[in-house]
Amino acid sequence: MSLDLYITSKTPIRKRGTGVYVRENGQTVELKTMEEVRSHFPDADLSHISVHEYEDGDFWHGNITHNMNEMASEVPIEGVELTLYDLLWRPDEHGFATAGSPGYREFVLKGYLYLRAHKEELLPLNPDNGWGNYDQLRAFTLDFLQHLISADDDFEIYASR
């Protein structure tokens, strides 16, 4: 199981990719180049795979294992009774439907800053099964935050659990 978090636009966004996805350390990621595809599948017949352009409404999409929800639950958001888990896994349940929802960007930033400042106390919450870790949650949150900051205010936030 994993969390798929989206920032979506009402108008299509042009993209490039291979359409080939792999699971790496508890995350599903698209391989963007043919070189990446070849390195993951060196003995496969790749004649039917190519980099192509397409359009969809996803301004940003991130995926992270649910194993990280315990750690995210231990990241408080200063000034409110929310955690990073609430912001990433359940934004809709806390009134955050769009990138411009009041306070949302600032709250995610506070969560990210807490992650950076409290690494040592969060490391013991790394999952025992090896799927996901502190560094992954920090990188996922930073990537989301960077895209959230650059998103139009009316772009929707959607978490698929």
93-151 residue pLDDT tens: 999 999 999 999 999 999 999 999 999 999 999 999 888 999 999 999 999 999 999 99
81 DSSP assignment: S
d(CA 46, CA 38): 8
Count of domains in the chain?
Answer: 1
Band (pLDDT 50/70/90 cuts) for residue 160 is confident
Average pLDDT, the chain: 94
pTM beyond cutoff 0.85: no
DSSP string, 15-67: EEE-SEEEEETTEEEEE-SHHHHHHH-TTS--TT---EEEEEEEEEEEEEEGG
Range of the domain at 105: 2-160
Residues 6+ apart with CB under 8 A from 23: none
pLDDT, residue 9, reads 94
d(CA 86, CA 77): 10
